[in-house]
Amino acid sequence: MSFDYDLFVIGGGSGGVRAARVAAAGGAKVALAEEDRYGGTCVIRGCVPKKLMVFASEYSGMVEDAQAYGWDIQPGAFDWGAFKGKLEAELDRLEGIYRNLLKNSGVESFDARAKLLDAHTVELSDGSRKSAKHILIATGGRPIVPEFPGSDLAITSNDIFHLEKLPESILIVGGGYIACEFAGIMNGLGVKTTQYYRGAQILRGFDDEARGLVSEEMCQSGIDLHLGTNVIEMTSEGDKIRVKATNGDEALFDQVMYATGRAPNADDLGLEDLGIERGRKGEIVVDKYSQTGMPSVYAIGDVTDRVNLTPVAIREGMAFVETVFNGNPTSPDHDLIPTAIFTQPEMGTVGLSEEEAAKQEPIEVYATSFKPMQQAFAGRAQRVLMKLIVSKASRKVLGCHIVAPGAGEMIQLAGIAVKMGATKEDFDRTVAVHPTMSEELVTMKTPVRTA
């Protein structure tokens, strides 16, 4: 049977674009459909604009620091309009790069929504139909706001980049990394920032000591954080939003942003009619090779709700091409993935938290917390944390957790060592780079506790 394409990809984000390009580079005939902007969540409404906003927000503390170092400079005001214009131009530029990458790889792209009609056919929103030997779903996820009275007044992380003007006050609801990152951003840009989280501590699932420090420093920097708190209802009041909370508080905010969860974009793709299984959260169920129950259909990235990170979606896309087009069955490796959370202070982590490791085997914990030289000299009280979790039996470093400026950069390199199976003695044998914060990772001689 002849098909229009060897591969049809639905979704033009990081995972879909990479899979399409790599398959096409290997000689496959590939098409891709994207209903919105090319680049997906990460490039258009996620990591990239968020990191640029983090950079923008960090300059507020730099003026005071510079003064402490002897610079005669005065604080100015932040111009949201000027920043927003530059941000939008940068995202347009990046989207153009993604479109060109596809074009130059020989991938035919359709600016349309696509859904599956059968095992080898997709229908585009213009009514046309395309057949393909293999179909790859890479439609990603989206932020969701739970239903409650007035929930339609909330914005999500998708909307925050497009605000016409910077609010004077904002309530951020949620305790995951997206909520915490935006609390830091808004606070740094001079917005009066309140954060509600229904749990006992922010950043659930991360190392307790590390998330405790992040939480403490966020409060120190002026974020009004309320734990064990949720919203009951919201009502419009003039151009403000009145919020009633479970802790009895009632307050007015200019904006309320929800970052309490994301859902896979797997609705209205025609999956149900084809008997392709979906999980409890609506994710597409796949095996270790990203294959659905229908042999010709695969899915990668956030729509599969495995590890929802951009570089993971890209890895899954590469493994898919290896498996299907290069005849080399490859399962994406989801073990020991280093991650950075761009909270203020930043956090980097790889491997097991102290709590997870202690459940699994006897461990030693090496940790140190101190004021870094740069901030201490400027009179700022921010603390950093360097922490290693070590197996007593194998001496392997099971986890590394860093809370510090530049933690993301540090964890990338620590991640290589941990992924290689480095032991505590391997770390100890490495000479310190002085004076740096990260040298503490190789100079901790005695455990602070065992478990």
Distance between CA 131 and CA 121 in Å, rounded?
Answer: 4
Query: Residue 417 belongs to a domain with what CATH number?
Result: 3.30.390.30
Distance between CA 340 and CA 51 in Å, rounded?
Answer: 11
User: In terms of domains, do 37 and 88 share one?
Assistant: yes
Q: Cα-flanking dihedrals φ and ψ of residue 88, to 5°?
A: -65, -40
Please indicate, yes or no, if residue 329 is contained in any of the structural domains. no
Domain interval for residue 193: 151-259
Q: By the 8 A CB rule, do 382 and 373 touch?
A: no
Report DSSP state, residue 302: G
Tokens read off for 380: 């700022």
Please indicate, yes or no, if residue 334 is contained in any of the structural domains. no
- The whole-number pLDDT of residue 201 equals 98
Give residue-wise pLDDT tens across range 379-417.
Answer: 988 999 999 999 999 999 999 999 999 999 999 999 999
Please indicate, yes or no, if residue 331 is contained in any of the structural domains. no
User: In terms of domains, do 83 and 194 share one?
Assistant: no
- The whole-number pLDDT of residue 124 equals 98
Percent of the chain with pLDDT over 90: 99
Q: By the 8 A CB rule, do 10 and 136 touch?
A: yes
Beta bridge mates, 109: 32
Please indicate, yes or no, if residue 333 is contained in any of the structural domains. no
Please indicate, yes or no, if residue 176 is contained in any of the structural domains. yes
- Packed helices 47-68 and 177-188: angle between N→C axes, nearest 10 degrees: 40
Question: Would you name the residues annotated as active-site residues?
Answer: 434
Residue 92's pLDDT band (boundaries 50, 70, 90)?
A: very high
Q: Hey, how many other C-beta atoms are within 10 angstroms of the C-beta on 412? A: 14
Distance between CA 232 and CA 111 in Å, rounded?
Answer: 40
User: In terms of domains, do 297 and 351 share one?
Assistant: no
> What average pLDDT does the structure give for the chain?
97
Q: By the 8 A CB rule, do 329 and 289 touch?
A: yes
Place of tokens 């064990």: 228
- The whole-number pLDDT of residue 1 equals 82
Give residue-wise pLDDT tens across range 335-381.
Answer: 999 999 999 999 999 999 999 999 999 999 999 999 999 999 999 88
- The whole-number pLDDT of residue 235 equals 98
Whether the predicted pLDDT of 128 surpasses 90: yes
User: In terms of domains, do 13 and 101 share one?
Assistant: yes
User: How large is the average pLDDT for residues 429-441?
Assistant: 98
Angle formed at CA 92 by CA 406 and CA 340, multiple of 5 degrees = 20
User: In terms of domains, do 186 and 282 share one?
Assistant: no
Question: What total of structural domains would you count in the chain?
Answer: 3
